[in-house]
């Protein structure tokens, strides 16, 4: 199954965890901007982590998430 591709904060926050089991989020062509330099369309690390937990927590076998 191909992952759902998202590329901005709006798509991340509107992602329905019940419809998408695998997600690929590429939010920058290089590195993500620092929090103070982030634009309105850039998701924060906490937003990305929260959405990852929402999606991964559906797995009855558990999951491992590494956030750096």
Model confidence at 1: pLDDT above 90: no
Q: Tens digit of pLDDT for each residue in 2-29?
A: 899 999 999 999 999 999 889 999 999 9
Our count of domains for the chain comes to: 1
Q: Name the strand (E) or helix (H) holding 25.
A: strand 23-25
Let me know if residue 40 belongs to a domain.
yes
Let me know if residue 50 belongs to a domain.
yes
Let me know if residue 47 belongs to a domain.
yes
68 in a labelled binding site: yes
pTM of this structure: 0.86
Q: What is the mean pLDDT of residues 49-53?
A: 96
Cβ-contact 44, 67 below 8 angstroms: no
Residues of the domain holding 28: 4-56
Q: Where are the alpha helices (DSSP H) in the chain?
A: 9-13, 45-56
Let me know if residue 10 belongs to a domain.
yes
Q: Tens digit of pLDDT for each residue in 39-50?
A: 999 999 999 999
Report residue 57: phi and psi, to 5°: -70, -10
Model confidence at 61: pLDDT above 90: yes
């Amino acid at each position: 199954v191909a992952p759902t591709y998202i590329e901005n904060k709006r798509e991340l926050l509107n992602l329905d965890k019940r419809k998408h089991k695998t997600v690929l989020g590429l939010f920058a062509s290089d590195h993500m901007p620092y929090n103070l330099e982030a634009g309105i369309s850039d998701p924060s690390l906490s937003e990305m982590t929260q959405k990852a937990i929402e999606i991964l927590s559906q797995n009855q076998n558990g999951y491992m998430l590494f956030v750096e």
